Amino acid sequence: MRTSILIVMLDFLVCSLLLFVIGTGGEHTQFETSAPKTPRVHEEFTPAAMQAQQEEWNRDYEQQSLLTQLNTASTENQQLRTRLNETTATLAQQEANLKTVAEEKAQTETALSNVQQQLAHVSEERQKLQQEGEAAKESLAKLQIEESALQQEKSQLTQQAQQLGQTVASQQATIRTLSQQVLSSQERVESQLTDVAKGQHEMGATLAQLDEFARTLPATIQKSVSGVHDEQQAMQQNLAAMAEDVKGLQTELNGDEKTGLGQAMEGIAKGQQDLQSRLDALMKAGQGDQIAQSLNAIEAGQDALRQQTVKLGEQIESIKARGPGPYKAVKGARLGLQVAIARTDSSSESPISHFRSTAYPPVVNVGGRSFVVANCQTLGFNWWALSGDGEITQLKYTVNRAGNTPWSGALTGPACVLRADPQVVAVELSQPTPGVSTMELAGPDAIVQNDQHRLYVFKSTAAGLSFEIDTAPNLADARYLVVKRALRGVAAWFENPAYRADVGDYVVSSDGKLVGIMVSRERCFILGKDNLTDCALSVPLNDGRQFLRAVTEFQKLK
């Protein structure tokens, strides 16, 4: 477009120059040969006008060029704005598309992860199914083998059923025979219990006669006979209680246990008869030296009867230990304690006095140390013959353990008389005791938390004899529990005294922990770790002179 304008302008200039040189009419069209004249030029074509015209053309050209450039620029700017708007819209659309794509990508990734998990789960399930299929194949093969074996067993069982049919008849005959044997065994036990009861009745009459006989004896011998009488009476009460236990345990006994109980009761019946004959001999002997010999024979008979009672008690205890309750714990943590003390007194009619005691106290664990806990009466600290002048000629404390691992050893002491209650004594075991376990102390806190209606009294004078009791806190002294009597009034007259708590018996919780020691028939002293090792007095058990001196101090403590 600019080139064409330039060509037009050049043509116009050339034409203007020619007209200027040649002229446009008449006389001016011929070349003058005469003297030159000054040419006439149109004022519009004067150099100044031409210059002005040219400048005006240049200005117009420049304006036209600028206008064209402006229009071109405007058009381009409009196009650029349009493109910019389109680009902006495109970018917004692309951004929206990118967001959508990002969301779809996230969803796709989530879906892919879920698919991967599902694929992994499916792969695991597939492996499990393959394994189960293989196991099922193996099981099927085994079942096929077992089916064939069952077929064989079925045929064998058919044959055995025929044989069993023949055997059942013989077994029924055997059962009838065994039933007759069981009935005869029960009758035999009942007969043995009847023999024991008969012996106890006769022993009761003999003890009544012995009581009357003792009143005619000198004071010293009378005390010895009274001691024999009291000990035998307590033993008879314990035997009566054990006989009731045997009756109650009839349904739980097997053949061996029935045989063992029968032998023990036969031994007790024979021991009662032998001891009764010795008591009869004592009463027939009258006064004199034969009384001392008869007393020794009676004490030996009591020891033999006590050993028979121990065997019966251990069997009863073993049967009870199979069930719930504290019986097993007490059975494993109980020792037999035998005390033998002899003292001479020159001023007495009988120069030698004897004290014998047999008890079954528990063994407790306190800080890794084992203690035998008993009442001072069991250890002989209250024996009447220890007061006054005299000399100890025999001082023997022996602990023993029966059962599968029998053991016996001396209890050398010293005995710790508790400061909290001097009637309770603890003696540490200084040597190992095979087959003996220890009990833990229940303590005052445990007694409060436990159900106090689930406490048991274990007799210290009869192994295996125990019963449940009701207790209540002693409001006057928190160190003691009050043991309630099960029967009161006239009904208490017919109650066996063996079913009452007595001095020296010990109270145990239902979980087999030692609660305390009976210091009277109604009060139980609660044992604790602190009061069990707090001694008001130490009594040596292996030196007669020091023992007598310490016991004298003990009697002052009371």
CA atoms 305, 307, 308, 313: torsion sign: positive
pLDDT at 418 over 70: yes
pLDDT band of 170, cuts 50, 70, 90: low
- For position 472, which CATH number holds? 2.40.10.120
Residue with tokens 């065997």, as numbered in its chain: 311
One domain, residues 268 and 307: yes
One domain, residues 280 and 308: yes
pLDDT at 217: 62
Residue 515 lies in a domain: yes
Distance set, CA 174 to CA 82, 160, 185, 252 (Å): 119, 20, 16, 22
Which region among 3-12, 95-104, 159-168, 375-384 has the lowest average model confidence (pLDDT)?
A: 159-168
Q: What is the mean pLDDT of residues 301-312?
A: 74
Residue 71 lies in a domain: no
Residue 256 lies in a domain: yes
pLDDT digits (tens, 9 = 90+) for 239-290: 777 777 776 666 666 666 667 767 776 777 777 777 767 767 666 665 555 6
Q: How far apart are CA 332 and CA 318, in angstroms?
A: 10
pLDDT band of 361, cuts 50, 70, 90: very high
Q: How far apart are CA 433 and CA 438, in angstroms?
A: 10
Phi, psi (deg, nearest 5) at residue 395: -145, 105
Residue 83 lies in a domain: no
One domain, residues 344 and 283: no
pTM of full prediction above 0.75: no
One domain, residues 417 and 537: yes
Q: What is the mean pLDDT of residues 200-229?
A: 64
Which helix H or strand E contains 410, and what residues bound it? strand 407-410
One domain, residues 311 and 436: no
Cβ atoms of 282 and 295 closer than 8 Å = yes
pLDDT at 416 over 80: yes
pLDDT at 247: 67
One domain, residues 316 and 339: no
Q: In what order do the strands lie in the sheet with 369-375?
A: 363-366, 369-375, 424-428, 415-418, 535-539
Q: How far apart are CA 283 and CA 301, in angstroms?
A: 16
Residue 151 lies in a domain: no
Q: What is the mean pLDDT of residues 206-212?
A: 63
One domain, residues 545 and 487: yes
One domain, residues 440 and 313: no
| CB neighbours of residue 107 within 10 Å | 10
Q: Which domain holds residue 184?
A: 178-320
What is the full DSSP assignment across 347-380?
A: TSSSSEEEEEEEE--BEEEETTEEEEEEETTTTT
One domain, residues 195 and 224: yes
pLDDT at 381: 92
pLDDT at 30: 45
Q: How far apart are CA 248 and CA 259, in angstroms?
A: 16
pLDDT at 219 over 90: no
Which helix H or strand E contains 531, and what residues bound it? helix 529-532
Residue 145 lies in a domain: no
pLDDT band of 489, cuts 50, 70, 90: very low
Q: How far apart are CA 144 and CA 292, in angstroms?
A: 88
- For position 276, which CATH number holds? 1.20.120
pLDDT at 143: 78
pLDDT digits (tens, 9 = 90+) for 123-168: 888 888 888 878 878 877 887 887 788 788 777 777 777 777 677 6
pLDDT band of 448, cuts 50, 70, 90: low
Q: How far apart are CA 26 and CA 502, in angstroms?
A: 183
Q: How far apart are CA 249 and CA 163, in angstroms?
A: 38
Cβ atoms of 240 and 200 closer than 8 Å = yes
* Residue bearing the bigger pLDDT, 498 or 191: 498
Q: What is the mean pLDDT of residues 158-184?
A: 63
pLDDT at 39: 56
Which helix H or strand E contains 535, and what residues bound it? strand 535-539
pLDDT at 211 over 90: no
Most confident of 45-54, 88-97, 342-351: 88-97
Measure the CA angle with vertex 436, ends 431 and 441; round to 5°: 95
Residues whose CB is less than 8 angstroms from the CB of residue 192 and which lie 6 or more positions away in sequence, other chains included? 262, 265, 266, 269
What is the full DSSP assignment across 80-138?
A: HHHHHHHHHHHHHHHHHHHHHHHHHHHHHHHHHHHHHHHHHHHHHHHHHHHHHHHHHHH
Helix axis angle, 255-285 relative to 47-214, nearest 10°?
40
| CB neighbours of residue 39 within 10 Å | 10
How many domains does one find in the chain?
3
Q: How far apart are CA 548 and CA 555, in angstroms?
A: 11
CA atoms 430, 408, 306, 294: torsion sign: negative
Out of 274, 289, 320, a domain closes at 320
In three-state form (DSSP H/G/I as H, E/B as E, the rest C), the secondary structure along 215-259 is CCCCHHHHHHHHHHHHHHHHHHHHHHHHHHHHHHCHHHCCHHHHH
The string over 414-440, giving b where at least 16 C-beta atoms fall within 10 Å of a residue's C-beta and e elsewhere, is bbbbbeebbbbbbbbbeeebeebebbb
pLDDT at 421: 94
One domain, residues 213 and 332: no
Which region among 19-28, 275-284, 367-376, 465-474 has the lowest average model confidence (pLDDT)?
A: 19-28
One domain, residues 286 and 355: no
* Residue bearing the bigger pLDDT, 178 or 208: 208
One domain, residues 240 and 272: yes
pLDDT at 492: 44
Q: How far apart are CA 228 and CA 216, in angstroms?
A: 16
Q: What is the mean pLDDT of residues 40-55?
A: 74
What is the overall mean pLDDT for the chain?
77
Q: What is the mean pLDDT of residues 454-464?
A: 86
Among residues 429, 421, 384, the alpha carbon closest in space to that of 537 is found at 421
pLDDT at 422: 93
* Residue bearing the bigger pLDDT, 261 or 552: 552
pLDDT band of 114, cuts 50, 70, 90: confident
Distance set, CA 35 to CA 19, 21, 22, 32 (Å): 22, 17, 17, 8
